[in-house]
With several copies, the nearest count.
Chain A
Amino acid sequence: MDDTQEESLFEAPPIAEQERMVEAILFASAEPVSLREMAGRMPHGCEPLIAVKNIQKRYEGRGVSVVKVQDAWTIRTAPDLGFLMQRETVETRKLSRAAIETLAIVAYHQPVSRAEIEEIRGVAVSRGTVDQLLELDWIKIGRRRQTPGRPVTFVVTECFLDHFGLENARDLPGLKELRAAGLLENRPAPGAEALPEPQTDAELQENLFDDAIEEPEDGPLY
């Protein structure tokens, strides 16, 4: 950079190069940029006004245009193309904690009934939470449980797997990996304190967990 500046004391970059500079500056700046600001950033001897005017001409009739806002310049979407931004006008919100936990339980324990979700979360699940997940098409109603009351169960959808980049629900990381990734505290489980080896402890948890995702293969008996 210093080289460039030193050099520029003798000779400014060609105008085409200055145009590239202005283009990049306008593109990357969050605010409209004044000519003074441009001149300050560009090598000495540059003529930002000429460059910006050329750029403005170049963008005429294009999808974006170079416009002057008071004393500063910026790039804006062409007014007739505003309709394209409508899908981008979605508001992204983080899923609520309750919804994430409910979703996680469905994913890890599916098929799972509402009562079971409540038992695992230790708190009632509001209808809004379930409805929201249904609406997002991340969970759907699975088979009815063949137990008294024949409760409906929930399972995750294709769309869920797609969104979270999973091949199937069994690809979800197990407790051991959650722990390894630092997502689980290394606090010993109250019931597991008697166990001699942390290894055994971890294995036990992993097993419990494996069993919970309805694997057809071997899980612990008790």
Chain B
Amino acid sequence: MQEELFDHQSVAERVQAETLIVDVDGFEGPLDLLLSLSRTQKVDLRKISVLDLAVQYLNFIEKARELRIELAADYLVMAAWLAFLKSRLLLPPDPTMAGPTGDELAAHLAFQLERLQAMRDAAAKLMARDRLGRDRFVRGVTEDVTRRKTVHYTANLLDLMQGYARIRTRDDFRPFVMDRDSVFTMEQALQRMRGLIGFSGHWTDIVSYLPDGWTDDPKKRRSATASTFAASLELAKEGKIVIRQDEIFSPIQIKRADRDG
């Protein structure tokens, strides 16, 4: 397959292919490589043959392997994907097969290439504009009066982020004191449950054991719910209560364990 393709190429094209191989480091990823390869088709990107392109790419990868050039993983991932695309494009569509058709995938790839090329062109246009400090210039003498009335403190977002990053890397990820405000510890829950459980002869929703003032704020409620549940498990282990839940996500109920079963 590969030989066949190379036979069709002119000397110039072969030289170009060689150059591509040698320059593999110069490519910015598989999409960039595909874009370069697509130029050899000498057609508008909208009219490109994705199938030919896939074949070219696979040949390229093959050639690079022969030359024992180490390829980054994403080039190989792209190769695998293109091999898949190629088979989809070549084989008659299988109606039982789910997912996008080969043509859809090919169209998207063509879109990606066209978009990347468009961004490159846009970048070139941008860089070619009359730029400050090169074509257009700012005022050389800015007014610098010595009578300074106020001191203006500046800081930008970057300073702020750097400052914060500095602190956070210094004492790495210690839990913060304010977290405790909203944390109902298991010890607290256990203590509370021990006091209440003696009165619970009937099945009662565990939620009714949440302490006052811990049910409105979601964060507090979450913490209290978790610790009350954990405390219930602990009490059940101790044989003080029994727990039941009818089905997944239904309310969890507890009641005092009767000593005699």
16 examples of A-B residue contacts, CB within 8 angstroms: A79-B135, A82-B137, A86-B147, A88-B137, A90-B151, A95-B153, A99-B153, A100-B123, A116-B177, A134-B158, A141-B157, A164-B156, A165-B130, A165-B157, A191-B174, A192-B173
B127 at the interface (CB under 8 A from A): yes
Q: Check B100–A191 contact: CB distance below 8 A.
A: yes
Q: Check B145–A86 contact: CB distance below 8 A.
A: yes
Size class of the B contact interface (CB-based, 8 Å):
35 or more
Q: Check A103–B135 contact: CB distance below 8 A.
A: no
A residues less than 8 Å from B166 (CB atoms)? 101
Mask for A90-121, Cβ within 8 A of B = 1, else 0?
11111101111101110111001001100111
Q: Check B223–A221 contact: CB distance below 8 A.
A: yes
How many residue-residue contacts, CB under 8 A, span A and B? 281
Q: Tell me the smallest distance from the CB of B49 to a CB of chain A, in Å.
A: 19
Q: Check A121–B31 contact: CB distance below 8 A.
A: yes
Q: Check B129–A101 contact: CB distance below 8 A.
A: no
Tell which of A85, A121, A221 touches B28, judged by Cβ atoms closer than 8 Å.
A121
B68 at the interface (CB under 8 A from A): no
Q: Check B149–A86 contact: CB distance below 8 A.
A: yes
Q: Given A95-B159, A163-B131, does the pair A187, B139 have CB atoms closer than 8 Å?
A: no
Residue of B129, B161, B171, B175 with most chain A CB atoms under a 10 A cut-off: B161
A199 at the interface (CB under 8 A from B): no
Q: Which of B111-156 contact A (CB under 8 A)?
A: 111-112, 114-116, 118-123, 125-127, 129-143, 145-156
Q: Check B153–A29 contact: CB distance below 8 A.
A: no
The distance in angstroms between the C-alpha atoms of A5 and B254, with both chains bound, is: 77
Q: Check A75–B151 contact: CB distance below 8 A.
A: no
Question: B13-21, B198-206, B214-222: which one contacts chain A?
Answer: B214-222
The distance in angstroms between the C-alpha atoms of A88 and B161, with both chains bound, is: 28
Q: Tell me the smallest distance from the CB of B65 to a CB of chain A, in Å.
A: 20
Q: Given A94-B159, A123-B29, A184-B165, does the pair A222, B137 have CB atoms closer than 8 Å?
A: no
Size class of the A contact interface (CB-based, 8 Å):
35 or more
- Residue of chain A at shortest CB distance from B164: A104
Q: Check B118–A178 contact: CB distance below 8 A.
A: yes
- Residue of chain B at shortest CB distance from A65: B136
B residues less than 8 Å from A94 (CB atoms)? 153-155, 159
Tell which of A89, A124, A181, A221 touches B222, judged by Cβ atoms closer than 8 Å.
A221
Mask for A70-87, Cβ within 8 A of B = 1, else 0?
000011111100100110
Q: Given A105-B164, A164-B157, does the pair A120, B176 have CB atoms closer than 8 Å?
A: yes
Q: Given A79-B136, A95-B154, A164-B126, does the pair A89, B179 have CB atoms closer than 8 Å?
A: no
B residues less than 8 Å from A115 (CB atoms)? 177
Q: Check B134–A82 contact: CB distance below 8 A.
A: yes
Q: Check B155–A76 contact: CB distance below 8 A.
A: no
Q: Tell me the smallest distance from the CB of A19 to a CB of chain B, in Å.
A: 17
A174 at the interface (CB under 8 A from B): yes
Tell which of B138, B174, B218 touches A216, judged by Cβ atoms closer than 8 Å.
B218
The distance in angstroms between the C-alpha atoms of A51 and B79, with both chains bound, is: 62
Question: A6-14, A52-60, A204-212: which one contacts chain B?
Answer: A204-212
